[in-house]
Each structure stands twice: as C-alpha cells, then as structure tokens.
C-alpha cells in the first residue's frame, strides 16, 4: 500500500514525486505511456519564464516566480542543460509598446528580478538578430532555456533513487474507495492501493477526476505546433524572443534552444481533440511569416523537423492546484499549461503543503540524496578529457549518432535506465534529433536496444506498443 | 590520446574514399582511411541492384561487386584502415591539419596529416526538410534507411507503402519492397515528369503496375502510432488543390526527396561551401578553399554514377599527391555556371592539363547544346542529345583548349546550356 | 514456358530503355504472332520492344537470409537475365533459404535457374583488415604499435 499515488509522470508529476521523496512516504508514480514525459511535457518549448505574462492575482504568476528561482539549484543537483539566456519582448509599434509597459508593470508587481523596459538601441544590442523595425521592448534577464525532457527524466530519476516506485505503461482506468484507501485499477487489470492520490494527469486530468468522483471539469486541448531549425542555420538569436502577446497565447516565439537549434512557435489552435498532434502546412507558413518578421534571417530551408503538442487548458486559464472538496484524500493538479514547467518546483512545494494540510504526516529522510549520477556525454568533452572517460568505457568513443555526437555508451545507459523506445532514447541522449533525423543512426540504435533487452527487431518501437519500426524479417512467414 | 603523423587522411571508406586512398598510396604516400561503419564500401553495400561499373569496368555490376573491386586492392595496398571510427574534428596545424578520430578500439586518435581528402558522401533529405504536415507515427522513413533495413539488416519495414519522390532511389526501393512482400500503393512525384530513369520506371513501376502520380504532393501523414494513411493532392499553380485531395491507406511512407552532401565536418573545419551544390568550392585540383583539404565524390556534389565518383576521386588523389610532393600550383581560370546550368564542378580550370567537369542542367531538353564561353567568346560547344536535371553531364577539356591566363586576366569560363 | 511469355495479339505502348532518348515504342502483335515495333530511332529499340513483348527478361538481385546475427542477409544476383515471369518463383525459393556463412563474392548459390547462375555479390563476413601499422585489437596496448605515441 502506498501513502501517495501520483497519476501522471510529466513535469508536474515527476516534480511532485521528487519533492515527496524527501519524506518517509511510500510513493508510486503512475505513467500511462511507455516512458516518462511522453504526454504533454514531451512537446514543451523549453522556456523558463520570467514572471511578467500573468496577472499577480493568478496562481500561475506566483508559482512561476517561485519556480524560476529554483532552477539554478536544481541544475546543480540534477545536471540537466539549462541556461539563463534572458527573454526579450519585441514591440514593433507604439501600440505594442503600451502592452509592453503593461507587462513590465505586471512583472514588477510579480517580483520578476531585474526586469527592464528597453529602447530600440538597447534592445538591438541585447539581441542583434532582431529586425531593425523594433521600436523597443522588454528585457527579463531571469528568463532561461532548458531541455525539457531531460529535466523531467532527471526529476523522475532522482525520485526513483530516493525510493519512489515508477510504473510505466500503467494507465489508471478506475478507482474506488475502500475504507481509508483508494484502490486504483489499471487497464491491464492490476490494482494499486494508496492513501492519497495526486491527479497530475495532464490532458486526462478531467477523466481521472471523474474516475475518483472528484470535481467535474473539462480539459480543452489547445494545440501548439513547433518547428525546429538546424544548428548551423543563419542568424540564431541568443535570447528567447517573444512578440507582444495575443489574448490566449504568448505568441509565436523564436527560441534559441539550449542544444543549439532554433525553435519557432508555438501556435495556439483551439478545438482540437486530445489525440490531435498534427502539424499543418497553414501553420508552417504562418509561423515562418511571424517569426521572420521578428528575426529576418530565418529561412524555411533550415527546417529539420516539426511537431505539435497539446496544452491542457481549463476555463479561466489558471492552474487548478487544490485539495478536492468532493473526493477525500485527492489533490487536483490540473490545467498545467504554460508556465507549468517553470512553475513545477513551486507546484511540487504547494502540493506537499496541501498534503500536509490534509493530514499526511511528513517526516524528513536524513538520507535523502538531492543529486543523481552525472550523465557523461562524449560531445561535452574535449578530446583530451575524453581519454579518461574512454579508458573506463571504450563505448564512449564509439559514435552512434554522428549529427549529435552521441556515443554507444550513452545510448546503452539510456536503455539500461528503462528508455527502450526510439523516442525515449532520443529524448534522453539526443540521438536521432539532428540533421539527418535518424537516417544513419536508427538501425544502430535498434541493434543496441535488441542487444540490451533481447527484444527482436520487430518488437522495437518508436514510442510504445503499436509503433513498431519494422514489421517482419525477410524469409519469415508474413 | 594517440598521436600519429601521416601524409594523408581520407575521411570515408566508400567509393570515393577507396579510389582516392588507392591512388594516393600508389604515389607512395602513407594513407589512413577512416570509416564509420564496421566495414568498407559505403553506400554501395546496400545498393544490391545492378547498373554500376558500365564506364569503369565495362560491366553491369551490383553495388557490392563494384565496391569489392576497390576493397580488395585496398586491403593489400598498405593503407591503414580504421573501421567503426568517426572523424569528429579537422583542425589547423603549423604544417597541415589535425584530424581527430574516435573509435571504440583506439579511443581518441589525433592525426597530423599533410593532406585531408573529404569523402563523406551524402545524407538524405528527410521529412522535416520537405515539411510534410500531419502526425509523427512510426513508419515514416527515408528510402536510404529503408534500403539499409531491407538489404543489410534483413527486415521488412512495412506492408503497404507510399513512396514520395520518383528519383532512382525511390524507384529501386519500389521494386525492392515489392520483392520482399510489400505492396507499393503509389509513387508521388511533385514534378510533371519522373526524375528517375526510363529503365527504372519500366522495371520498377510498370512491371508491378505501381501507380505514379505526377505533379502531386503528399499533403499530410495520418496515424498516431503507426502510419495509417497519406493524403495526396495534385498541384494547381504550384499549390496543392484541396478539393482534389485523396487518401491512400498505407502503413509506411518512404521519402526519396533528394540528397545533401554531408559537409558539417567541412564547415566546422572552415572549408568554404558552395551553397549551390552544398559541397565545398574546389579549384581544378579539387582542393577546397582550405589549404591541403581536398574533396571528391558525393560530399563534393551529388553524383548519379559511381563510375564518375571513382574517376573524380582518382583525379583528386593525383592532385593531392602532387601537392604532397610540393608540386607548383598551376595557374587556374575560374569556371562558373551560366544559363540553364545549375552547378558545375570543379570551379576552376587549369588550362595546362586535362580537365574534367561535371555539371547539372536546370532544364529538360532534347538536342541541347553545351557552350563554353570565355569573356563572352564561345570557345567550345558540344551537342547533347538529351539533358535533364537528374542526369549529370560530364565533359572534358584537353590541355591547351583554353589559353593560359596572363597576369591581368579577369577571365572567367562560363558553362551554359542552350 | 510461363504464361507471361505467351504472345497475345494486340498493341502495347512501351518506353524504350536502351538509351536516354527513351523513344516511345508501339509494339503490335498480329493474330499470327508477328511482332512489329514502331517509334524506335534505332535497332536497339526494335530489339528491346520485340523482346519485351515476346519474352521479357530481367536480371534479378535479392538478399537471402543467413544464419548469422551479424550479417542477417547476403546479396545475390542472377548472372544473366531470366524470364520475367519466373522472378517471383526465384524470389520465393531464395527467401526460403538460410545460408551458412562464410560466402565469397562470385560464389555460386544455384547453378541453373532458367539458364542463369545465382551468385553471391558480396563476401561475408568481409575480409579482415590486415595490421599494416594498424592498431591491434582492443586488448592490446597502444604502445605496441609502431609509430604510435601516447600523448603524456
């Protein structure tokens, strides 16, 4: 029996799990997909927001500021790629500058550190890739960029290292109360008992809430398409560039990712369904048009891939983080769209406080380990330093993914940590994310998965059952 | 780190690398070949169909057979061969280049080479490059990856396939997949004419009644975990016509949408790249703008015939050998692409010796004329029965065909097709 | 004689593959079985058009399953063209095999299939790389190799 079962291992669930792993609690982290972060978090833009987009009266604003502060410490503990590159909001007219001033005032009230209004010259000095047509804008030096799935993986690993039990491929389909506990049933018919349940189920938070007889609400998916430009592409910015925001979205951004690519987007399209992650030609054109207005050197020729994510939105657009009033021992963590990732450390803190206020006893573990073993990456080492790494394991000198410089040792490590799908390995190591988009490394990675897991090639998948890469062998019966 | 001094490092052990290494070795140079696969031969090994060697050997060989004609002599020529090894960096040294290699068996090796020959070949354009909308299920792959999976890994990538692009690679794979039990539902080609050869259209599509949709594009891919269908539309005024869009159920989408010379290593080494070919600018010695770095084969520009790759690689190695011996640099005249010519390689001519140029037409034409002009004056023409962009044109210029440049020359040779 | 080779009266449009001009051929077969080719600019086109209708032939290349995990299939070819109608049968026979490695390029797999030999086109496993100043196996030290110095 578990003290707490967290449903959903995206950024919220993983952050909560890690936070709770500090206490003498039995915690289960239940993830529907075959790997952590495969839901909403997978399509995250990777921005650590600076705290000026949301009204001070919103929960989002408070948690965003609090969360933003935590990232230097988290990086020191967990070692994921993160950089405070700074955020600029670019205004192209006097009208837009008025909105910028409003954002600035909001940021000041929220407590965004060192936020400033800047004139045209200073803005262009801060970000030379911007169009000369800017009239001014806002600069928030506390904004940053992060590799989102590596952050979520690191949170989950740290939680697991401190005793949290991770269940993947475990989809909650039903629940009933039995005395003091919840009995949760999975699609495969397994049952898990927990005293407390945290609903961090992203797009399915409404369904999960209903499953437990808790509040009724509807999560409306808002699709966002993103386009990735190659690393060598012309004119990458050094800051995250925002336009002046629209009503429901922060607009199409130009994001220099921490890996060196450039990401354009996201769009914001309502009314899709929870399964619709299609990219569209209309949005491709729209995104490039908007992005190149801000950063003229952007070219469609440099695009290497695109994807779409779904934001789980609630009416009112604020976070719903509260103890359920309808179901006992149930915490809602729903509507976690932007700035969810930024806020995640603060969300975790808040959930811990809610659990405590609900009566869960929290006794600190003295043996809690904040850090996780550093992941060694061949590409991060200069040739001289590589010698030591290679002496320990020659597989660090065997490159599997040429475009991203990923070695066999890193891929094997990812597989041994449970990332046995091509997408999981891709998010963990970046193998397959480069220019050739897996053209040369796919078969090598498949062989490594086969070698490490014993799976035949026909059972290796892109992102879980149903997405097998090859359908058979030559000479075998069909 | 192991340090090693050597005359020449050849990056890539495929058709270009092997021919260059053999020729360099013949000249007495010490040569190392660095190859990322666990075997030599490059892309030829997965091209198990025939059509190779008609010019070079007067025979109709398969890719592996052609490759072995070079692998065998390479093994006994005293060339140092590093397999499962990747060049990660080419740097500058006082006299020559440093080449950093990573390999499982050796760890980090740093060569000090007087000459580097780039022979890394191409990568394929992929879905992202052509921005096909829709979902991202399993079952979308480039034709080359599918070819590897079938012909080397022995896998069947799918059951019902739609191929995007009617270039030779796509056509060859249409037949190959049919052979291994797939049904190829359609080949979709954006141009109004097929870009592959008539032979392949006949023997890969017509033989198997595979429909070819000319002037069409795939507008989106459907399917969440695995491909379920594609939507295809004809082009009208250059745009997909939405009300004539149709759906083809399938589980595999093969992309045969072009090749890009793999020059990331070259760019990082400071080798100036010709954005028209996506390969390095080279002079009549096939030396790039970075001193001592030469380039040949598909990394220089995308070839159609491996025979020409071999010829080019040999010529490149000959000039690299002269360079190693401290041979004087000959005067050269720049060569540019003129009317109806997409690109010409190399980008300079050394009038004192035999020159061979490869170029691609921008147009499809019968009874065309290749024209060379210097300073506006026509100096050479050649009749071409048929030109099209997907067929590389080779032409040679004998020594003395063009006057040596004198001191005040601003002369440029322009190659055009009329 | 396969059904594919039976000559049927009628007219067939073909694109000639003998050279890049790709003439559009019309091949007419009379009720008596006489074959006439038009649209060709040369004799090669006539030969191609007439053979395609009478007895189309193809060189077959394929991969055959092996018993090796490292090299799961071996490429083969027919050395001459076989009847197009027999391609499917040969493929089916080949896919039913499990070849034991090693094999050498040129080695004969089948002596006679419709008059052609089926041979391997690749030596598998590939020939060993000789140790010419070449680094040794993983277990050997670096300094055993002539000319290689370890950086301090």
Nearest to A347 by CA among A57, A112, A13: A13
Burial (0-12, 13-18, 19+ Cβ within 10 Å), A218:
exposed
Q: What CATH number labels B126-257? A: 3.50.50.60
Q: Is residue C136 part of a domain?
A: no
Kindly report, residue by residue over A263-273, the tens digit of the pLDDT. 999 998 887 78
Distance (Å) from the alpha carbon of C133 to chain B's nearest alpha carbon = 7
The rounded Cα A376 to chain-centroid distance in angstroms is 21
Contacts of B72 in chain C (CB under 8 A): 127
Across chain B, mean pLDDT equals: 94
CB nearest to A474's CB, from C63, C138, C151: C63
Q: Is residue C147 part of a domain?
A: no
Cβ within 8 Å, pair A405-B127: no
- Active-site amino acid positions of A: 49
Pair C65, C116 in one domain: yes
CATH code of the domain covering residue C75: 3.10.530.10
Residues whose CB is less than 8 angstroms from the CB of residue B87 and which lie 6 or more positions away in sequence, other chains included: B9, B11, B34, B99, B100, B101, B265
Q: Which residue of B has its CA nearest to C98?
A: B154
Cβ within 8 Å, pair A474-C138: no
Ranges A136-150, B171-185, C12-26: which has the least confidence: C12-26
A339 with A53: CB under 8 angstroms?
Answer: yes
Residues of chain C by 3-state class (helix, strand, coil), percent to 5: 20, 30, 50
Q: What CATH number labels B331-418? A: 2.60.40
CB nearest to B3's CB, from C20, C132, C149: C149
Ranges A400-409, A424-433, B121-130, C94-103: which has the least confidence: B121-130
A338 with A46: CB under 8 angstroms?
Answer: no
A101 with A124: CB under 8 angstroms?
Answer: no
Q: Is residue C96 part of a domain?
A: yes
Q: How many CA atoms lie within 13 A of C78 on its CB side?
A: 19
Q: Is residue C93 part of a domain?
A: yes
Assigned CATH class of A82-143+220-313: alpha beta
DSSP letter at A279? Answer: B
Cβ within 8 Å, pair C122-B199: no
Across chain A, mean pLDDT equals: 94
What are A474's two structure tokens? 């030559």
Q: Is residue C132 part of a domain?
A: no
CB nearest to A475's CB, from C95, C138, C151: C95
**What phi and psi values does residue C148 have, to the nearest 5 degrees?**
-100, 125
Cβ within 8 Å, pair C96-A475: yes
Contacts of B48 in chain C (CB under 8 A): 61-63, 75, 77, 121
CB nearest to A303's CB, from B86, B131, B134: B131
Q: What is the mean pLDDT of residues A22-35?
A: 97
- The span from the first CA to the last CA of chain C, in angstroms, equals 74
C68 touching chain A per CB within 8 A: no
Kindly report, residue by residue over B221-239, the tens digit of the pLDDT. 999 999 999 999 999 998 9
Kindly state the helix (H) or strand (E) to which residue B63 belongs, with its residue range.
Answer: helix B63-75
Q: What is the mean pLDDT of residues B205-216?
A: 95
Q: Which residue of B has its CA nearest to C105?
A: B65
B149 touching chain A per CB within 8 A: yes
Cβ within 8 Å, pair B152-C134: no
How would you list the strands of the sheet with A144-146, edge to edge? Answer: A47-48, A144-146, A82-83
Interface of A with C in 385-444 (CB under 8 A): 394
Q: What local confidence, expressed as pLDDT, does residue B407 receive? A: 55
Tell me the C-alpha distance between B396 and B375, whole Å. Answer: 20
Q: Omega into A200 within 30° of 0, i.e. cis?
A: no
Say whether pLDDT at C146 is over 50.
Answer: no
Neighbours of C48 (CB within 10 A): 24
What are B70's two structure tokens? 């070079």
Tracing tokens 């509260």 back to the chain, one arrives at A322
C142 with B2: CB under 8 angstroms?
Answer: yes
Tell me the C-alpha distance between A337 and A358, whole Å. Answer: 25
**What phi and psi values does residue A121 have, to the nearest 5 degrees?**
-65, -45
Angle, nearest 10°, between helix axes B168-179 and B143-151? 40
The structure's pTM equals 0.91
Contacts of A475 in chain C (CB under 8 A): 64-65, 73, 95-98
Say whether pLDDT at C128 is over 80.
Answer: yes
Q: Are strands B133-134 and B273-274 parallel, antiparallel or unpaired?
A: unpaired
- Where helices occur in C1-67 by DSSP H, the ranges are 43-54
Residues whose CB is less than 8 angstroms from the CB of residue B191 and which lie 6 or more positions away in sequence, other chains included: B166, B214, B215
CATH topology (fold) of A2-42+149-218+316-357:
FAD/NAD(P)-binding domain (3.50.50)
Interface of B with A in 55-84 (CB under 8 A): 84
Say whether pLDDT at C151 is over 80.
Answer: no
What is the length of chain A? Answer: 478
What are A208's two structure tokens? 């999960």
Say whether pLDDT at A134 is over 60.
Answer: yes
Assigned CATH class of A378-459: mainly alpha
What CATH architecture is B1-124+258-329?
3-Layer(bba) Sandwich (3.50)
Contacts of B218 in chain A (CB under 8 A): none
Tracing tokens 């080695």 back to the chain, one arrives at C107
Kindly report, residue by residue over A226-270, the tens digit of the pLDDT. 999 988 766 689 999 999 987 667 889 999 999 889 999 999 888
Q: Is residue C139 part of a domain?
A: no
Pair C69, C40 in one domain: no
Tell me the C-alpha distance between B413 and B336, whole Å. Answer: 6
- The reply to whether domains B1-124+258-329 and B126-257 share a CATH topology is yes
* Domain map (residue ranges) of chain B: 1-124+258-329, 126-257, 331-418
Q: In chain A, which segments carry CATH 3.50.50.60?
A: 2-42+149-218+316-357
Query: In angstroms, what CA-CA distances link C31 with B2, C7, C14, C34, C52?
Result: 78, 10, 20, 7, 18
> pLDDT confidence of C144, banded at 50, 70, 90?
very low
**Which chains touch A (3+ CB pairs under 8 A)?**
B, C
Between A225 and A475, where is the model more confident?
A: A225
Q: Is residue C32 part of a domain?
A: yes
Contacts of B76 in chain C (CB under 8 A): 130
* A178, β-bridge pairs: A181
What are B306's two structure tokens? 């491996």
CB nearest to C127's CB, from B75, B198, B207: B75
Kindly report, residue by residue over B16-63, the tens digit of the pLDDT. 999 999 999 999 999 999 999 999 999 999 999 999 999 999 999 999
Contacts of A464 in chain B (CB under 8 A): 225
Kindly report, residue by residue over A291-337, the tens digit of the pLDDT. 999 999 888 888 889 999 999 999 988 999 999 999 999 999 999 99
* B414, β-bridge pairs: B336, B373
Neighbours of B266 (CB within 10 A): 25
A423 with A466: CB under 8 angstroms?
Answer: no
C96 touching chain A per CB within 8 A: yes
Residues whose CB is less than 8 angstroms from the CB of residue B134 and which lie 6 or more positions away in sequence, other chains included: A278, A279, B220, B221, B222, B230, B231
Tracing tokens 């080479």 back to the chain, one arrives at B113
**What phi and psi values does residue A457 have, to the nearest 5 degrees?**
-55, -35
Tell me the C-alpha distance between B194 and B198, whole Å. Answer: 8
Tell me the C-alpha distance between A266 and B229, whole Å. Answer: 26
The boundaries of the domain holding residue C17 are 3-55
**Which chains touch B (3+ CB pairs under 8 A)?**
A, C
């Amino acid at each position: 029996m578990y003290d707490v079962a967290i449903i959903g291992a995206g950024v919220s669930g993983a952050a909560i799990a890690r936070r709770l792993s500090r206490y003498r609690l039995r915690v289960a982290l239940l993830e529907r997909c075959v790997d952590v972060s495969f839901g909403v978090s997978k399509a995250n833009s990777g921005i650590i927001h600076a705290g000026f987009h949301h009204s001070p009266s919103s929960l989002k604003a408070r948690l965003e500021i609090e969360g933003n502060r935590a990232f230097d410490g988290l990086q020191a503990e967990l070692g994921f790629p993160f950089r405070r590159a700074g955020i600029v909001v670019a205004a192209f007219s006097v009208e837009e500058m008025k909105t910028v001033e409003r954002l600035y005032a909001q940021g000041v009230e929220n407590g965004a550190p060192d936020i400033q209004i800047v004139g045209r010259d200073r803005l262009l000095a801060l970000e030379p890739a911007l169009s000369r047509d800017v009239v001014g804008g806002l600069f928030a030096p506390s904004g940053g960029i992060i590799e989102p799935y590596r952050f979520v993986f690191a949170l989950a690993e740290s939680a697991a290292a401190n005793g949290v039990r991770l269940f993947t491929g475990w989809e909650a389909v039903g629940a009933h109360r039995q005395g003091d506990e919840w009995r949760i049933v999975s699609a495969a018919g397994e049952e898990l008992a927990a005293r407390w349940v945290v609903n961090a189920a992203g797009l399915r938070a409404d369904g999960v809430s209903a499953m437990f007889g808790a509040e009724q609400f509807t999560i409306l998916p808002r699709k966002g398409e993103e386009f990735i430009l190659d690393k060598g592409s012309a004119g990458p910015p050094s800051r995250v560039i925002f336009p002046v925001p629209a009503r429901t979205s922060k607009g199409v951004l130009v994001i220099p990712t921490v890996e060196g690519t450039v990401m354009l987007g996201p769009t914001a399209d309502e009314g899709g369904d929870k399964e619709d992650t299609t990219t569209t030609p209309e949005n491709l054109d729209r995104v490039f048009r908007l992005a190149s207005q801000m950063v003229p050197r952007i070219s469609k020729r440099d695009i290497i891939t695109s994807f779409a994510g779904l934001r789980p939105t609630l009416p009112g657009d604020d976070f719903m983080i509260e103890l359920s009033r309808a179901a006992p021992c149930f915490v809602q963590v729903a509507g976690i769209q932007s700035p969810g990732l930024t806020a995640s450390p603060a969300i975790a803190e808040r959930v811990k406080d809610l659990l405590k206020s609900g009566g869960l006893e929290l006794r600190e573990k003295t043996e809690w380990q904040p850090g996780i073993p550093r992941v060694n990456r061949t590409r991060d080492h200069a040739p001289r330093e590589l010698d030591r790494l290679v002496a320990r394991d020659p597989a660090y000198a065997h490159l599997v993914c040429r475009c991203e410089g990923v070695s066999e040792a890193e891929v094997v490590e990812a597989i041994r940590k449970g990332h046995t799908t091509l997408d999981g390995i891709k998010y963990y190591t970046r193998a397959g994310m480069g220019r050739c988009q897996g053209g040369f490394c796919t078969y090598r990675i498949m062989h490594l998965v086969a070698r490490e897991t014993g799976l035949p090639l026909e059972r290796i998948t892109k992102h879980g059952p149903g997405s097998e890469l090859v359908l058979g062998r030559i000479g075998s019966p069909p | 780190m192991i340090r090693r001094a050597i005359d020449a490092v050849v990056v890539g052990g495929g058709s270009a690398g092997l021919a260059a290494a053999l020729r360099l070795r013949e000249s007495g140079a010490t040569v190392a070949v660095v190859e990322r696969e666990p075997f030599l031969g490059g892309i030829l090994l997965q091209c198990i169909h025939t059509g190779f060697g008609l010019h070079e050997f007067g025979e109709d060989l398969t890719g592996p057979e052609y490759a072995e004609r070079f692998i065998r002599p390479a093994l006994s020529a005293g060339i140092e061969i590093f397999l499962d090894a990747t060049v990660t960096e080419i740097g500058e040294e006082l006299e020559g280049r440093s080449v950093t290699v990573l390999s499982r068996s050796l760890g980090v090796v740093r060569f000090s080479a007087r000459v580097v020959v780039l022979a890394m070949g191409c990568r394929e354009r992929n879905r992202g490059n052509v921005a096909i909308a829709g979902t991202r299920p399993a079952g979308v792959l480039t034709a080359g990856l599918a070819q590897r999976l079938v012909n080397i890994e022995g896998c069947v990538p799918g059951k019902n396939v739609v191929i995007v692009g009617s270039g030779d690679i796509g056509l060859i794979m249409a037949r190959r997949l049919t052979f291994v039990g797939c049904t190829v539902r359609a080949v979709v080609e954006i141009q109004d004419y097929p870009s592959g050869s008539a032979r392949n259209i006949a023997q890969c599509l017509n033989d198997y009644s595979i429909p070819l949709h000319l002037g069409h594009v795939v507008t989106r891919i459907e399917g969440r975990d695995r491909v379920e269908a594609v939507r295809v539309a004809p082009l009208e005024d250059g745009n997909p016509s939405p009300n004539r869009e149709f759906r083809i159920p399938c589980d595999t989408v093969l992309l045969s949408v072009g090749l890009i010379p793999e020059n990331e290593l070259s760019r990082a080494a400071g080798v100036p790249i010709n954005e028209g070919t996506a390969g390095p600018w080279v002079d009549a010695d096939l030396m790039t703008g970075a001193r001592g770095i030469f380039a040949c084969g598909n990394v220089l520009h995308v070839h159609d015939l491996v025979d020409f790759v071999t010829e080019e690689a040999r010529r490149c190695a000959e000039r690299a050998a002269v360079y190693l011996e401290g041979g004087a640099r000959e005067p050269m005249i720049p060569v540019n692409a003129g009317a109806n010519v997409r690109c010409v390689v190399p980008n300079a001519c050394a009038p004192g010796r035999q020159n061979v140029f490869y170029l691609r037409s921008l147009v499809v034409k019968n009874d065309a004329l290749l024209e060379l002009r210097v300073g506006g004056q026509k100096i050479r023409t050649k009749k071409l029965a048929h030109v099209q962009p997907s067929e590389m044109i080779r032409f040679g210029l004998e020594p003395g065909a063009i006057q040596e440049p004198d001191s005040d020359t601003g002369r440029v040779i322009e190659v055009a097709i009329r | 004689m396969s059904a594919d080779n039976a000559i049927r009266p009628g007219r067939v449009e073909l694109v000639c593959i003998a050279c890049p001009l790709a003439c559009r051929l019309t091949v007419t077969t009379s009720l008596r079985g006489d074959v006439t080719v038009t649209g060709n600019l040369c004799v090669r086109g006539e030969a191609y058009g007439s053979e395609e209708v009478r007895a189309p032939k193809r060189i077959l290349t394929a991969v055959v399953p092996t018993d090796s995990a490292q090299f799961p299939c071996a490429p083969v070819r027919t050395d001459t063209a076989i009847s197009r109608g027999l391609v499917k049968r040969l493929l089916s026979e080949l896919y039913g095999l499990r070849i034991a490695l090693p094999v050498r390029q040129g080695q004969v797999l089948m002596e006679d299939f419709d008059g052609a030999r089926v041979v391997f086109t690749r030596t598998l496993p590939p020939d060993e790389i000789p140790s010419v100043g070449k680094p040794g196996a993983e277990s050997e030290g670096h300094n055993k190799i002539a000319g290689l110095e370890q950086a301090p």
